A and B are shown apart, each in its own frame.
Chain A
Amino acid sequence: MEKARISAFQLFILIVLFELGSAMIVPLAIEAKQGAWLAILIGAAGGCGIFLIYYALFRYYPDESPVHFVRHIIGSVPGKIVAFLYILYFLYLSARVVRDFGEMLITIAYVETPLFVLNLLMVLLAVYTIRKGIEVLARTGELLFIVLAFLFLSAFLLIAAGGTLDYGNLKPVMGEGLAPIVKTAFTQTIYFPFGEIFAFMMIMPYVTDPKKVKRTGLLAITASGFVLASIMAANTGVLGVELVNRSLFPLLATIQSIELADFLERLDVYFMLAAIIGGFVKITLFLYVSVAAAADLFKVKKPSQLAYPLGVVVLLLSIMIAGSLPEHIQEGIKLVPLYLHLPFQVILPALVLLVAFVRHKGRGKEGEAK
């Protein structure tokens, strides 16, 4: 672990930017139709529950990275295997986000540019930031957060003032009952984006005041849940469920629909800025966590030495993971939540917490007996 310190507020900002990242650009929870915003809020509540599991683990070992404490809890060899699997998981997710944004840039702006080149630019930026350290990323996050907040507030004002918002598109909220909404929440939104906060297990030890981690984490998940729910409600209100379902990037279509006073139109730059800010933070954080965990596990003296090679690994993987955009999306919706998110975000942390709880309880009783 590098010797760095970040404040609770910086942690809050990083979590919010990370959660919004790629989630705001895709049609999140659209399977729940008009209840998408509700599915996101339920997902956020579930995300808070998952975060409490991570926080409980963090409380046992507040100064250690998960790569260290997992070895204390479940033993050296199984701990190393679990840590290695998590490094793979974070690198894979990083590659998925790189691919998401590469495909987005190709689709909407750089039609003639090869995917490899766009991905390369994003990865190089992430590698550069990682070499500078987590403190620099946190401070950059503070600046970007202000830009993003301004973009969101002004975009919502423009959408409301533009008159394109049709509240009728948001009804009926539970046309097919609560079941599809809960199903969408528990099969998708709880894992993506809220469960991905597991990556912050590597960042939490850097926080200057560990007591504030719990409140900050819960507040950040709730805030990002509300922002994402508002975005999906705005998308559904402006475009209608059918169009959101068919659209690859509904937020872009929503922003493109803004036409105000005959001169405020074609505000695609709003979408591009917001997407690139979110994407940058998410890719960088996933890659940072992978680099820090790999340096810890393999005992590399200077973690920054791993930044570029692992960046290249992410770049290659982002090209390899799928042959086309539809295949990439299908894998992301059907396979990744089931085979990767569920075990790595819920099952493994819950099992490790259970073992940690039993061990600490045993030690407490031994102490009392002595």
Chain B
Amino acid sequence: MKVIGISFVLLLALMGVAAALDFFGGSPDLNASIRNIFNPFLVMETIEMVIFIFIVLCVFIPPVRQFFQKRNKSKQ
């Protein structure tokens, strides 16, 4: 879970960096910059979206598996 937390914090911070650079690059306001960040995901085709979701879900598999393994061990 710690790994997911770290990745999520870093992703949020990097999204901030990307938005800030977009804003300094001539975007009309910060809201538009934030919208620009998400735009590439809105125009994805179905197969791209499927791969995207699969790749993101794969991040959660090891921590969830570890969590259940720990729980089973503690029950025993």
Query: What is A's interface to B at a CB cutoff of 8 Å?
Result: 84, 87-88, 91-92, 95, 114, 116-117, 120, 294, 298, 300, 305-306, 308-310, 312-313, 315-317, 319-323, 327, 330-331, 334-336, 339
Distance between Cα atoms of A321 and B45 in the complex (Å): 19
Contact of B52 among A87, A116, A305, A308 (CB under 8 A): A116
Does A305 contact B62, Cβ atoms closer than 8 Å? yes
Q: Is B11 a contact of A316 with CB atoms below 8 Å?
A: yes
Given contacts A309-B3, A320-B18, 7 further A-B contacts (CB under 8 A): A88-B17, A117-B48, A309-B4, A320-B15, A323-B36, A323-B39, A339-B21
Interface string of B35-55 (1 = CB under 8 A from A): 011111100110010011001
Q: Are A313 and B40 in contact (CB under 8 A)?
A: no
Task: Choose among B17, B37, B41 the residue with the greatest number of A CB atoms under 10 Å from its CB.
Answer: B17
Question: B2 at interface (Cβ–Cβ under 8 A)?
Answer: yes
Would you list 18 pairs from A and B whose C-beta atoms are within 8 A, ordered by A residue? A84-B13, A92-B17, A92-B18, A116-B52, A117-B51, A300-B3, A312-B7, A312-B58, A313-B10, A313-B14, A317-B14, A319-B40, A320-B37, A321-B21, A323-B40, A327-B25, A331-B22, A334-B25
Q: Give chain B's interface residues, CB within 8 Å of chain A.
A: 2-4, 6-7, 10-11, 13-15, 17-18, 21-22, 24-25, 36-41, 44-45, 48, 51-52, 55-56, 58-59, 62
Contact A339 B3, beta carbon cutoff 8 Å: no
**Bound form: Cα–Cα A117–B39 in Å:** 17
- Would you call A306 and B51 a contact (CB within 8 A)? no
Shortest CB-to-CB span from A56 to chain B, Å, is: 28
A42 CB to closest chain B CB, in angstroms?
27
Q: Which residues of B contact A317 (CB under 8 A)?
A: 11, 14-15, 18
Residues of B within 8 A of A114 (CB): 44-45, 48
Closest-by-CB residue of B relative to A298 is B6
* Interface contact A116-B7, CB-CB below 8 Å: no
Give the distance in Å from the alpha carbon of A310 to the alpha carbon of B3 in the complex.
Answer: 9
B25, A294: Cβ atoms under 8 Å? no
Residue pair A321, B18 in contact (C-beta under 8 Å): yes
Residues of A within 8 A of B52 (CB): 116
Q: Which residues of B contact A321 (CB under 8 A)?
A: 18, 21
Chain B positions within 8 Å of A306 at CB level: 3, 6-7
Closest B residue by C-beta to A312: B59
CB distance from A360 to the nearest CB of B (A): 32
